[in-house]
Amino acid sequence: KAGVTQTPRYLIKTRGQQVTLSCSPISGHRSVSWYQQTPGQGLQFLFEYFSETQRNKGNFPGRFSGRQFSNSRSEMNVSTLELGDSALYLCASSLGLASSGANVLTFGAGSRLTVL
Amino acid sequence: GDSVTQMEGPVTLSEEAFLTINCTYTATGYPSLFWYVQYPGEGLQLLLKATKADDKGSNKGFEATYRKETTSFHLEKGSVQVSDSAVYFCALTLILNNAGNMLTFGGGTRLMVKP
């Protein structure tokens, strides 16, 4: 079955602009999580969406936002970009149900954002 | 808060050498533990997992045992190959009250295997 698809794979923006990243989860997966990966801070959790609702949120400023659609596809948006937002943004999907035990996340290849 | 500490790299080994990457954790509850691997230019791939004490996760020759008494989940492989060169991440997750989950990652360990 198809994996987690993230678009675009690479993009370059300038400070002050905004960006929208897209994630299509594995079919049947209702949870989508977003992570930021940088050399300095490593992998950090941004937020998780389940059935179109934000279920958990990491410690990021309000410039980072997201949403999930009825087909479980998710988008994240970063407004007023700063140089420090340059990172690899990873999306992961899972079934999202507690009854499934340890929810295993399947990651996409990521969207690499460069802010100039 | 919850945290994962893993040995810093890079770890450089010759092919067929024995590999150990140490990982210890701090968690308020009873976490599930994971090892993920990231190859250059790619996202993360699940390597193995363990959900309770003394569980051993294994995959592709890699193994890790969930040690609750030492809060550790060290990754081992008996004989590494050049193709194992990648960055390895130890991670934990707790099933939250709202059934959500989020991974807390260690800093990653780069493994370089030379022929």
Kindly report the nearest CA distance between residue B11 and chain A, in angstroms.
Answer: 17
Residue B68 has what pLDDT?
94
Does the distance separating the beta carbons of A103 and B44 come in below 8 Å? no
Nearest CA in chain A to B107: A42
Average pLDDT of chain A, as a whole number: 92
Residue A96 has what pLDDT?
75
Kindly report the nearest CA distance between residue B110 and chain A, in angstroms.
Answer: 12
Q: Summarize pLDDT for B85-99 with one digit per residue, the tens.
A: 999 999 998 876 666
Q: What one-letter code names the amino acid at B98? A: N
- The full DSSP string for B46-64 is EEEEE-STT-EEEETTEEE
Q: Which two tokens stand for residue A110?
A: 């990521």
Residue B98 has what pLDDT?
61
**Band of the pLDDT at A22, cuts 50, 70, 90?**
very high
Summarize the confidence of residues B105-111 as an average pLDDT.
96
Residue B9 has what pLDDT?
86
Q: What one-letter code names the amino acid at B78? A: G
Does the distance separating the beta carbons of A103 and B101 come in below 8 Å? yes
From B51, B98, B106, residue closest to A102, measured CB to CB: B51
The DSSP bridge pattern shows strands A111-115 and A10-13 to be: parallel
